[in-house]
């Protein structure tokens, strides 16, 4: 009964979101502000309905109701409770329901956030958001109904794909979806602005918190997915330029560009049309990502089931939203009052350069991801565009981008001074170069790119720290006299300044982590108990191998003791090969030993007849920095979100607010 | 600085970054793309040794030989032609004789294929798509047919680059 009610709630959500779409348009026609208010109420109603539907599906999964098709296919009575819950979104239907849940959650947040959005803009935004919700709910109801029943109900389910039975994967989809779907708000704001034909700094200020929220979650979601692939797939890599990964990276890059261009728009009233276009493109890339991942065009751990009607439906959604919004853009964008141009050497000039490099990088990823698909469709020729392509295209574009990060921060708004900025950054450059050369000398004969990357990361870290220090220090006559004064001034800096510095420092940390992988080592051998395997500075001794029984799997587990080359024991790792009988599937469980921020990674291979086992041992120096850096970036974004300016109400007239152009923030 | 020169600088910056991106893409496209070939393609087309490619087909029954030091030899077949493969490393969890596999590497002058990456399916009911298509082209595969297991009924799962053993 609960399941049917859930299904009904979903249908009700469709109706309500249609009301949410139509009302603002009607309100604009009739000029009745009370009608406008209904959009907010409808957004809340749609959220309540989808929440109920989601809860109903969760209930079916938790109680192992095998009369529901979705539960039969993805659950098992023996499965631990956490995976019964995460199994709700560990399949196509449920994950689409989660997608819509987050979509309506954002809609409800916009409806509730009273102060920050002008009413007319809010109503139009909610209207666009309602249309997105309606289309996706329609998609779920017609092609991917999670509530369909099976008669007669089987006694046992098929179990969730063992690869997905992992705590990391339990939280990866919600994080990623909040990111993906969060950009729908920026998109809705952009379309609302186009419908209205007016856009100003108030718009930029209203849209920024949403973009920033989405960006933070997407950052965390991508990092989580990357860490999962690293430890769960058992071959020790952290990024594969796999189409599915690219699908999440593209909206992230475009979203990063959007964040920065919104700052320019808020501060300088420029880049309006470009910002609107970026907001449209960012969500379009999220939709393309959904299409790539969900349609079965790419076979991956994410393409749960391939059903051509779904692919066609998502393609139609793509055409509707991307085509529709771009058409609207072409038609209405000329109406938007253009902001002034500005000096090339200035904070905004450097942010334009940032946008250029980000968009170019995003375009190379898009080409590399779509080209094989298009080529196969057109000629039937099958090719693989792998890491060498992306390393040769994306990396050369990323390096100049990273170089200008601290530089742009050191430039003033309006009219910057290159020499002054270079002077301020001189210390950062000198120290970074010294670090780079020192590392190069210490690791002479190793990969050259690694010290370069370490130097670049150090430059970003020191540059971010210098930004805070030099602002606390002040200039000229107002130069701080004592350490206490510097401390007070640093504490008094707006949180967005700290947030920016933290996020940029996070980028530096990621770069260091990535660069250090140049020194990663790998050892491979067939071992019998007592034998050893060397990788980098560590030696692993195989202690024992034996069978073990898990809740819904059988496991062959190996225990290894890790010692340094000098013979000091560091710790033990356990790696195993699990066999899930319900899916007849084997999964390698890698063993990780964390030493500081470096890791020793063991992965079990085949059992030989003679009692030996294949073992792979990686040494991954500083590898955790890759994900910790991403967390720091998200924290920086979060800190920025708590800035006072993000919370205070928007003044009724944007022009009444003097633009503090001399205060460099963000 | 005049409005016109500012605009010119902006356009020049856009143009140069765009040109850089296009140049990089074209350069990378010419060097780092890997084609997919079936054993029949290799037999018919006479591919030059040293070209990097992806070889896909079924692991021939009875061809798997484990050498010392984690070296494995096996043959990949699409039933019309067969290519011998040598690989050093751990094989993926679901590497079996008689089942689909994709190997990435290059041909040696003797006609043997030296793989540095081996991808296998990651689910009992899943066959790498390239392999399924190649076998279909040979008329050796029907959906749900006798030559292997049917395509995913419930869930087909694999990380695109597969559960693989690398290098």
pLDDT higher than 70, residue A296:
no
pLDDT given for residue B142 in this prediction: 47
Tell which B residues from 27 to 86 touch A, by Cβ distance under 8 Å: 27-29, 31-36, 54, 66, 69-70
A605 to B90: CB separation less than 8 angstroms, yes or no: yes
Candidates B17, B89, B123; nearest CB to A585: B123
Assign A569 to helix, strand or coil.
strand
pLDDT higher than 80, residue A632:
yes
pLDDT band at B124 (very low <50, low <70, confident <90, very high): very low
Sheet holding A591-595, edge to edge: A521-527, A613-620, A598-607, A591-595
Could you tell me if A535 and A618 are in contact, meaning their C-beta atoms sit under 8 angstroms apart? Answer: yes
Q: Best-predicted range by mean pLDDT among A304-313, A370-379, B143-152?
A: A370-379
pLDDT higher than 80, residue A553:
yes
Fold observed for domain B35-166: OB fold (Dihydrolipoamide Acetyltransferase, E2P) (2.40.50)
Look-up of token digits 């800035």: A643
pLDDT given for residue B141 in this prediction: 53
> Chain B contacts of A352, Cβ < 8 Å?
10, 13
Q: How close, in Å, is residue B39 to chain A by CA atoms? A: 14
**Angle at the Cα of A550 (from A546 to A551), degrees rounded to 5?**
165
B36 to A237: CB separation less than 8 angstroms, yes or no: no
Q: How close, in Å, is residue A267 to chain B by CA atoms? A: 19
A301 to B10: CB separation less than 8 angstroms, yes or no: no
Could you report the per-residue pLDDT of A567-619, keeping only the tens digit for each? 899 999 999 988 888 777 778 888 999 999 999 999 888 777 777 888 889 99
CA within 13 Å, CB half, A240: 23
How many Å apart are CA A425 and CA A412, to the nearest integer? 14
How many Å apart are CA A418 and CA A620, to the nearest integer? 39
Chain Cα centroid distance, residue B36: 6
How many Å apart are CA A646 and CA A205, to the nearest integer? 7
Q: How close, in Å, is residue B121 to chain A by CA atoms? A: 10
Query: Which residue in chain B has the smallest CA separation from A390?
Result: B28
Look-up of token digits 């996706």: A136
For the residues A508-515, what does the mean pLDDT come to?
Answer: 96
pLDDT band at A625 (very low <50, low <70, confident <90, very high): very high
ipTM confidence score: 0.76
pLDDT band at A654 (very low <50, low <70, confident <90, very high): very low
Q: How close, in Å, is residue B110 to chain A by CA atoms? A: 24
B36 to A298: CB separation less than 8 angstroms, yes or no: no
pLDDT given for residue B156 in this prediction: 32
Residue B139 makes CB contacts below 8 A (sequence gap 6+) with none
- Other CB atoms within a 10 A radius of the CB of residue A144 amount to 23
For the residues A544-571, what does the mean pLDDT come to?
Answer: 90
Its sign, for the CA torsion A187, A190, A194, A195, is positive
Could you tell me if A574 and A559 are in contact, meaning their C-beta atoms sit under 8 angstroms apart? Answer: yes
Could you report the per-residue pLDDT of A200-210, keeping only the tens digit for each? 888 988 899 99
Q: Is B104 on the interface with A (CB under 8 A)?
A: yes
DSSP A518: G
Chain Cα centroid distance, residue A74: 26
Q: Is A244 on the interface with B (CB under 8 A)?
A: yes
Residue A527 bridge partners (DSSP): A613
Query: Which residue in chain B has the smallest CA separation from A387?
Result: B32
pLDDT given for residue A663 in this prediction: 41
Per-position DSSP letters for A453-508, written without gaps between them: HHHHHHHHHHHHHHHHHHHHH--GGG---SHHHHHHHHHHS-HHHHHHHHHHHHHH
pLDDT given for residue A320 in this prediction: 94
pLDDT given for residue B136 in this prediction: 67
pLDDT higher than 50, residue A303:
no
pTM of the model: 0.89
Query: Which residue in chain B has the smallest CA separation from A349?
Result: B10
pLDDT given for residue B149 in this prediction: 37
pLDDT given for residue A584 in this prediction: 74
Please state, for a pLDDT cut of 90, what percent of chain A lies above it. 50
pLDDT given for residue A646 in this prediction: 65
Tell which A residues from 343 to 382 touch B, by Cβ distance under 8 Å: 343-344, 352-353, 356-357, 360-361, 363-364, 367-368, 371, 381-382
B32 to A524: CB separation less than 8 angstroms, yes or no: no
pLDDT band at B140 (very low <50, low <70, confident <90, very high): low
pLDDT band at A97 (very low <50, low <70, confident <90, very high): very high
> Chain A contacts of B156, Cβ < 8 Å?
299, 303-306
Average pLDDT value over all residues in chain A: 87
pLDDT band at A315 (very low <50, low <70, confident <90, very high): confident
Spatial CA neighbour of A639 closest among A216, A173, A204: A216
> Chain A contacts of B99, Cβ < 8 Å?
none
Query: What is the distance between the terminal CA atoms of chain B, rounded to a whole angstrom?
Result: 56
Its sign, for the CA torsion A626, A628, A629, A633, is positive
Q: Is A41 on the interface with B (CB under 8 A)?
A: no
pLDDT given for residue A325 in this prediction: 95
> In angstroms, what CA-CA distances link A320 with A313, A317, A374?
10, 5, 21
Candidates B18, B36, B93; nearest CB to A587: B93
A583 to B124: CB separation less than 8 angstroms, yes or no: yes
> Chain B contacts of A397, Cβ < 8 Å?
17, 20-21, 24
Query: What is the distance between the terminal CA atoms of chain A, rounded to a whole angstrom?
Result: 52
A363 to B133: CB separation less than 8 angstroms, yes or no: no
Candidates A73, A242, A360; nearest CB to B20: A360
Q: How close, in Å, is residue B76 to chain A by CA atoms? A: 18
For the residues A329-347, what does the mean pLDDT come to?
Answer: 82
How many Å apart are CA A121 and CA A157, to the nearest integer? 48
Q: Is A418 on the interface with B (CB under 8 A)?
A: no
Residue A547's H or E segment, with its range, is strand A538-549
B90 to A163: CB separation less than 8 angstroms, yes or no: no
Q: Best-predicted range by mean pLDDT among A3-17, A74-88, A102-116, B62-76?
A: A3-17
pLDDT higher than 90, residue A623:
yes
Point out the least confidently predicted range of A488-502, A570-584, B11-25, B146-160.
Answer: B146-160
Q: Is A306 on the interface with B (CB under 8 A)?
A: yes
pLDDT higher than 50, residue A662:
no
> Chain A contacts of B128, Cβ < 8 Å?
299
Q: Which two tokens stand for residue A75?
A: 């659950």
Tell which A residues from 621 to 640 touch B, by Cβ distance under 8 Å: none
Candidates B14, B21, B158; nearest CB to A364: B21
Point out the least confidently predicted range of A300-309, A558-567, B49-58.
Answer: A300-309
Helix axes A119-143, A308-318, angle to 10 degrees: 160
For the residues A311-335, what does the mean pLDDT come to?
Answer: 90
Q: How close, in Å, is residue A300 to chain B by CA atoms? A: 4
Candidates B36, B130, B158; nearest CB to A300: B158
> Chain A contacts of B13, Cβ < 8 Å?
344, 352-353, 356
Q: Which two tokens stand for residue B52?
A: 């990097």
Candidates A306, A393, A584; nearest CB to B28: A393
Q: Is A308 on the interface with B (CB under 8 A)?
A: no
pLDDT given for residue A191 in this prediction: 95
A305 to B152: CB separation less than 8 angstroms, yes or no: yes
pLDDT given for residue A100 in this prediction: 96
Q: Is A303 on the interface with B (CB under 8 A)?
A: yes
Pick the residue of A360, A415, A535, A612 with the most B CBs within 10 A to test the interface with B by mutation.
Answer: A360
Q: Is B121 on the interface with A (CB under 8 A)?
A: no
Assign A233 to helix, strand or coil.
coil
Query: Which residue in chain B has the smallest CA separation from A235?
Result: B165
What radius of gyration do chain A's Cα atoms show? 27
pLDDT band at A229 (very low <50, low <70, confident <90, very high): confident
For the residues A351-374, what does the mean pLDDT come to?
Answer: 92
For the residues A122-138, what does the mean pLDDT come to?
Answer: 94
B104 to A384: CB separation less than 8 angstroms, yes or no: yes
Could you report the per-residue pLDDT of A423-449, keeping only the tens digit for each? 888 888 999 999 999 999 998 888 888
pLDDT given for residue A44 in this prediction: 95
Could you tell me if A110 and A129 are in contact, meaning their C-beta atoms sit under 8 angstroms apart? Answer: yes
Chain Cα centroid distance, residue A591: 26
pLDDT higher than 90, residue A113:
no
Per-position DSSP letters for B89-113, written without gaps between them: SPPPTT--TTSEEEEEEEE-TTS-E
How many Å apart are CA A643 and CA A557, to the nearest integer? 50
Residue A132 makes CB contacts below 8 A (sequence gap 6+) with A103, A184, A187, A188, A321
pLDDT given for residue A298 in this prediction: 65
pLDDT given for residue A222 in this prediction: 95
Assign A204 to helix, strand or coil.
helix
Could you tell me if A568 and A577 are in contact, meaning their C-beta atoms sit under 8 angstroms apart? Answer: no
Chains A, B: CB contacts under 8 A, how many?
171
Its sign, for the CA torsion A510, A516, A518, A523, is negative
């Amino acid at each position: 009964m609960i399941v049917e009610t859930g299904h009904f709630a979903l249908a009700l959500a469709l109706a309500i979101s249609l009301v949410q779409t139509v009302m603002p348009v009607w309100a604009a026609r009739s000029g009745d502000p009370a009608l406008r208010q209904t959009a907010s109420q409808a957004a809340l109603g749609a959220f309540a309905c989808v929440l109920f539907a989601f809860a109903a599906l969760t209930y079916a999964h938790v109680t192992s109701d095998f009369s529901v098709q979705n539960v039969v296919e993805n659950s098992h009575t023996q499965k631990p409770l956490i995976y019964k819950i995460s199994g709700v979104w560990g399949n196509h239907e449920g994950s689409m329901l989660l997608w819509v849940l987050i979509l309506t959650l954002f809609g409800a947040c916009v409806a509730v956030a009273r102060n920050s959005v002008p009413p007319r803009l809010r109503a139009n935004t909610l209207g666009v958001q309602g249309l997105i919700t309606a289309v996706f709910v329609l998609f779920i109801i017609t092609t991917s109904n999670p509530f369909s029943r099976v008669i007669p109900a089987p006694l046992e389910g098929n179990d969730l794909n063992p690869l997905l039975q992992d705590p990391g994967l339990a939280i990866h989809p919600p994080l990623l979806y909040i990111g993906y779907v969060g950009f729908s708000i920026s998109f809705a704001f952009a379309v609302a602005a186009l419908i209205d034909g007016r856009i100003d700094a108030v718009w930029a200020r209203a849209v920024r918190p949403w973009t920033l929220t989405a960006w933070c979650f997407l950052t965390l979601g991508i990092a989580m997915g990357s860490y999962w692939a690293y430890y769960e797939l058992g071959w020790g890599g952290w990024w594969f330029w796999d189409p599915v990964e690219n699908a999440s990276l593209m909206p992230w890059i475009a979203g990063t560009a959007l964040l920065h261009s919104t700052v320019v728009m808020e501060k300088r009233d420029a880049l309006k049309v470009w910002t609107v276009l970026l907001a449209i493109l960012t969500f379009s890339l999220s939709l393309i990502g959904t299409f790539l991942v969900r349609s079965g065009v790419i076979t991956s751990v994410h393409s749960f089931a391939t059903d051509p009607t779904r692919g066609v439906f998502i393609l139609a959604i793509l055409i509707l939203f991307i085509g529709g919004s771009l058409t609207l853009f072409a038609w209405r964008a000329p109406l938007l009052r253009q902001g002034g141009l500005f000096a090339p050497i200035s904070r905004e000039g450097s942010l334009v350069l940032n946008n250029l490099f980000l968009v170019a990088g995003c375009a190379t990823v898009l080409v590399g991801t779509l080209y094989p698909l298009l080529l196969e469709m057109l000629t039937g020729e099958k090719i693989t565009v792998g890491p060498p392509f992306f390393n040769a295209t994306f990396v050369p574009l990323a390096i100049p981008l990273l170089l200008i990060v601290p530089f742009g921060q050191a430039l003033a708004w309006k009219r910057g001074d290159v020499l002054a900025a270079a002077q301020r950054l001189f210390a950062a450059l000198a120290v970074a170069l010294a670090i780079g050369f020192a590392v190069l000398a210490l690791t002479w004969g190793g990969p050259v790119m690694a010290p370069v990357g370490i130097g670049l990361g150090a430059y970003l870290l020191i540059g971010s720290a210098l930004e805070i220090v030099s602002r606390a220090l002040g200039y000229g006559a107002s130069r701080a006299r004592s350490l206490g004064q510097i401390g007070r001034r640093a504490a008094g800096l707006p949180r967005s300044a700290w947030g920016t510095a933290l996020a940029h420092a996070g980028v530096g940390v990621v770069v260091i982590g990535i660069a250090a992988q140049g020194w990663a080592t790998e050892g491979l051998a067939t071992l019998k108990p007592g034998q050893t395997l060397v990788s980098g500075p560590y030696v692993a001794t195989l202690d024992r191998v034996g069978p073990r029984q898990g809740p819904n799997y059988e496991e062959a587990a190996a225990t290894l003791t890790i010692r340094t080359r000098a013979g000091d024991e560091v710790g033990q790792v356990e790696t195993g090969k699990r066999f899930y009988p319900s899916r007849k599937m084997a999964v390698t469980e890698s063993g990780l030993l964390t030493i500081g921020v470096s890791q020793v990674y063991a992965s079990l291979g085949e059992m030989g007849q003679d009692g030996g086992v294949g073992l792979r041992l990686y040494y991954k120096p500083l590898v955790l920095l890759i994900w910790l850096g991403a967390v720091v970036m998200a924290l920086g974004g979060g800190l920025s979100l708590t800035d006072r300016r993000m919370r205070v109400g928007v003044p009724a007239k944007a022009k009444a607010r003097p633009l503090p152009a001399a205060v460099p923030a963000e | 600085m005049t409005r016109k020169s500012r605009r010119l600088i902006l356009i020049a910056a856009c143009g140069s970054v765009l040109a850089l991106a296009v140049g990089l893409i074209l350069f990378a496209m010419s060097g780092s793309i890997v084609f997919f070939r079936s054993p029949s393609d290799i037999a018919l087309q006479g591919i030059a040794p040293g070209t990097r490619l992806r070889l896909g087909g079924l692991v021939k029954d009875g061809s798997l030989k484990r050498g010392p030091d984690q070296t494995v030899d096996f043959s990949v077949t699409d039933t019309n032609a067969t290519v011998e493969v040598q690989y050093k490393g751990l094989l993926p969890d679901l590497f079996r004789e008689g089942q689909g596999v994709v190997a990435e590497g290059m041909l040696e002058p003797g006609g043997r294929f030296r793989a540095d990456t081996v991808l296998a399916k990651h689910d009992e009911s899943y066959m790498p798509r390239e392999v399924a298509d190649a076998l279909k082209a040979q008329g050796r595969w029907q959906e749900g047919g006798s030559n292997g297991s049917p395509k995913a009924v419930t869930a087909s799962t694999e990380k695109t680059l597969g559960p693989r053993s690398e290098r």
